[in-house]
Chains A and B, each alone.
Chain A
């Protein structure tokens, strides 16, 4: 069965520290991978996506993610976290045109200490 696992429910980092949020997927076909962010009281906003090509993808707000096929992972990183990055982050895997096969992880809540 296809699935997305985000093993960390909550993460707390200090402002200015680096961040890595983990995502592992199980998917039979070539995956399309996404990271979304949800700020309190807001809908989801796309941070970045991977379809093919360079396995290191850059997104908005200084985020990047690396696709590692051998590890079935698509971890999100940021070199220096800002207080405004406090939010919930969702990893998702999809078949691009099969709407029923779009799976979200359970989310990771990020707290940022001043």
Chain B
């Protein structure tokens, strides 16, 4: 089975801190995604990557950056965390040839910024 692992289930950080959210997938997928999930808003795409060192902005990239140095790992970076970035963050991956038809999600990281 495909496994998408997010390193932390819960994270508490202070305003202004630099925050790293890590995501690792074990199925050699080319595509990886970071979503943010907020009550009443569904999932919103922050960034995605379709290959190593490649990245594209999603709908809400402001305040975030990403890094993809290795195929299996996709990191989301909050350069200076703010309280409005308190949210559930979901990572996902899919094989290139199947696009969004086979999208696999991690269990999520609940980030609280105080």
Interface flags, A61-94, vs B, CB<8A=1, else 0: 0000000000000000000000000000010101
User: Which residue on chain B has the smallest CB distance to residue A51?
Assistant: B101
Contact of B107 among A34, A43, A107 (CB under 8 A): A43
Contact of A110 with B by CB under 8 A: no
Residues of A within 8 A of B106 (CB): 43
Q: Are A100 and B45 in contact (CB under 8 A)?
A: yes
- From residue A82, how far is it (CB to closest CB) to chain B in Å? 22
Which chain B residues in 42-66 approach chain A with CB under 8 Å?
Answer: 42-45, 48, 50, 56-59
CA of A42 to CA of B108, assembled, Å: 7
Interface flags, A87-106, vs B, CB<8A=1, else 0: 00010101011011010111
User: Which residue on chain B has the smallest CB distance to residue A99?
Assistant: B48
Given contacts A49-B101, A99-B50, A100-B58, contact A9 B107 (CB under 8 A): no
Contact of B90 with A by CB under 8 A: yes
A-B contacts at CB below 8 angstroms, number = 61
Given contacts A43-B4, A43-B107, A99-B48, contact A106 B100 (CB under 8 A): no
Q: Are A106 and B90 in contact (CB under 8 A)?
A: no
Which chain A residues in 27-71 approach chain B with CB under 8 Å?
Answer: 32, 34, 41-46, 49, 51
CA of A77 to CA of B76, assembled, Å: 36
- From residue A26, how far is it (CB to closest CB) to chain B in Å? 14
- From residue A87, how far is it (CB to closest CB) to chain B in Å? 13
Residues of B within 8 A of A96 (CB): 99-101
Choose among B50, B90, B105 the residue with the greatest number of A CB atoms under 10 Å from its CB: B105
Q: Are A102 and B100 in contact (CB under 8 A)?
A: yes
Q: Please tell me the size bucket of the interface on A.
A: 20 to 34
Contact of B74 with A by CB under 8 A: no
Contact of A106 among B40, B45, B107, B108 (CB under 8 A): B40
Contact of A21 with B by CB under 8 A: no
User: Which residue on chain A has the smallest CB distance to residue B41?
Assistant: A106
**Told that A45-B105, A99-B100, A104-B44 touch, could you supply 9 new A-B pairs with CB distance under 8 A?**
A41-B9, A44-B90, A44-B105, A90-B42, A96-B100, A99-B50, A99-B58, A102-B45, A104-B42
